Amino acid sequence: MADYNPAETGIMIDAATTVDRDDAIWIEADGDGFDAWIHIARVADHVVNGGPADIEARQRVATRYRPDHTKHMLPAPVVAAASLDPGRENDTFAVHLRIDGAGHVLAADLGPGRLTRSWAVSHAEAADAAGDPAHPLHDTLALALRFAQTMLAARRNAGALAFYDLLSGFATNEEGQLIRLDSSMRNSGYIIVQEFMIAANAQIAAWAVRQDLPILFRNHRLAAVAGDPADLRGELDSIAASGDSAAFEMLRSRMRMVARAAGYGPTVHGHHGLQLPVYTHATSPIRRYPDLVTQRILLAASLGLPTPYPPEALAEAAAHVNERIEAERRAKSEYFKQRAAEETARQIEAADFARLPYKQFARVLQFAVERGEVPPGLAEDAARRFDARELQLREFASVYLYGREPFAPLRERMNRLLAAEPQQAQSIVNVYLQDRLGGPVSNDTNVRWTVEAEPGFEAPLFAAQVAIHYGGEQVESPRRLQRNKKDAKNQAALALLASLAGLADLSQDAAAKPRVEGPRKLLVDAGVHPAEAVQIYAARGLVEDLTWHFEVEGPSHERVFTCRAEAAMPRTGERAAAEGRGPTKQASKTAASQELRVHIEAALALGGTGQRADA
């Protein structure tokens, strides 16, 4: 491609039916890394702050896409004028990123830009071009796909709950929810757009922080009971490999229940779902009002002008947007609840449950469980769907916790399934608490865990107990012993669930031999993992006061964890210490354990006296 300026060249990738194009991308190779440009439609030039179009956009907050029509945030003439158009030159707000081969951002520049040469393609066309060497845009889009894959890998390495399964059509959104993609987006073109836009939004937010410039930051906190994003991602990867669509739906329900809505604010609180210290929405100013507000602030700052939003006005805009989004969410929920109630009553009367699509079946089941009136055939169909692994978390929990007599055989089978898959128990405890509280669960006030090492056994054991608090009541589980904290917590939650549901407690303690003082082999076998070996020495009483202290430094995309491990040697009273570093918490712990194990075993081999001890 001759005679072009890469900084003024772009490809717009959107759904085939899109008319409001607000972003374009371009990329060039830079050694092993990338030079990437993201162009954003300069909508602020077309919408006067405080003018009629702005007032209308502020009320609507965002464009709404319906199956039969689209309700645009901005008036149609403004949309036509502001949209990027491959048939003309376009004024833009441009973000230029220099990124190395590992996905680390080396430099980010932003300010007014211009598109003088551009193309518009659909997601599917972009994916095809990336795989077709004969396509005129192949080189650029193949490089864009490599960039997207690099950035996705870097986000996952940083701990983000980032997941795409184009075969099944599932992906995670920024709030940590598992969503279904439209069939037109189940291709690599969608991944290219997502990763470019996440990179642009993250770097715009980081630039604003460096400039001490308040914009509308996008903040998100995961629910306290959601679990480690790395564990959730592991489950997603495992289910994707198995191709189990029913398991996908079960996990989707669970993730939806523990997800929290992200919000806008003039101050930074981090974005848990993306595992980013700062984030914003700035790449869709035609379709989202917060993006338009932020673009005005960024344009003014890049031109050396004062912000158009004083602190009070920006805080008020954030509050307004959050309130409007929440009000629409509630209204939508109430509308569908009413529609669902009417349809549910009709379906119960028809009593042909096996023919119902899952959503309708779920409404019927919830309706029957809540009222304690189970029509003939419903329990049998619930059992059939349970056997087919179709029951999702919400419906599973309702039957398990509250089902009456017709569901008794199914509830017993559910209890046995949970005993075999105890990792589901904490999610169902969360369902129970949400039902009791009528809203979100707080880890500070509603769930209290006690997890501690259990001394006195040959192998390392951990004891876990959970107590839940709601409406002035407290219910707690028995203590459960397992070889790691995660399993101990799962078994404690399982025991609590059985109590709440009035079913047999099938939770278990790990089998372990009490520690017996006397002659025994001192050194742990060399093949045992270093961290486990150190824990075994602690369980045997050969070291005392074992502690692990973790620190993390560096930006979110290249974190370095440091673990400092210490233990006392009871024979000498001396303390042994070791330090390890790594890209993950577990890697740093393993490195520290290796060094600490050497100290411990050297002391044991010498018997703490300078003479070799019997092993």
pLDDT on residue 334: 72
pTM strictly above 0.85: no
Output the six-digit token pair for 584: 């993950």
Percentage of the chain modeled with pLDDT above 70? 88
Q: Where in the chain is the domain with CATH 3.30.160.20?
A: 530-605
Instruction: State mean pLDDT over 424-434.
Output: 89
The CATH number that domain 530-605 falls under is: 3.30.160.20
Mean predicted lDDT score pLDDT of the chain: 86
Output the six-digit token pair for 314: 């920006």
Helices (H), 351-407: 358-371, 378-387, 393-402
pLDDT on residue 608: 44
d(CA 61, CA 7): 31
Judge whether residue 327 has pLDDT over 80: yes
| pLDDT tens per residue, range 223-277 | 666 666 667 777 777 776 766 665 666 676 667 666 678 999 999 999 988 889 9
| pLDDT tens per residue, range 375-398 | 888 899 899 999 988 888 889 999
pLDDT on residue 333: 67
What one-character DSSP code corresponds to residue 274? Answer: T
| Model confidence band, residue 292 (pLDDT cutoffs 50, 70, 90) | very high
pLDDT on residue 610: 36
pLDDT on residue 545: 86
Higher pLDDT, 74 or 171: 74
Per the CB < 8 A criterion, the answer to whether 24 and 115 are in contact is: yes
| pLDDT tens per residue, range 296-325 | 999 999 999 999 999 999 999 999 999 999
pLDDT on residue 161: 79
pLDDT on residue 612: 37
Per the CB < 8 A criterion, the answer to whether 615 and 606 are in contact is: no
| pLDDT tens per residue, range 36-48 | 999 999 999 999 9
Q: Which long-range contacts (CB under 8 A, 24 or more apart) does 591-597 make?
A: 591/563, 592/548, 592/563, 592/564, 592/565, 593/529, 593/530, 593/531, 593/533, 593/534, 593/565, 594/530, 595/565, 596/530, 596/534, 596/565, 596/567, 597/530, 597/533, 597/534
pLDDT on residue 340: 56
What b/e string do you get for 76-94 counting C-beta neighbours within 10 Å, with b at 16 or more? eebbeebbbbbeeebbbbb
Domain 438-516 fold: Double Stranded RNA Binding Domain (3.30.160)
| pLDDT tens per residue, range 538-557 | 887 888 888 989 888 876 55
Per the CB < 8 A criterion, the answer to whether 187 and 194 are in contact is: no
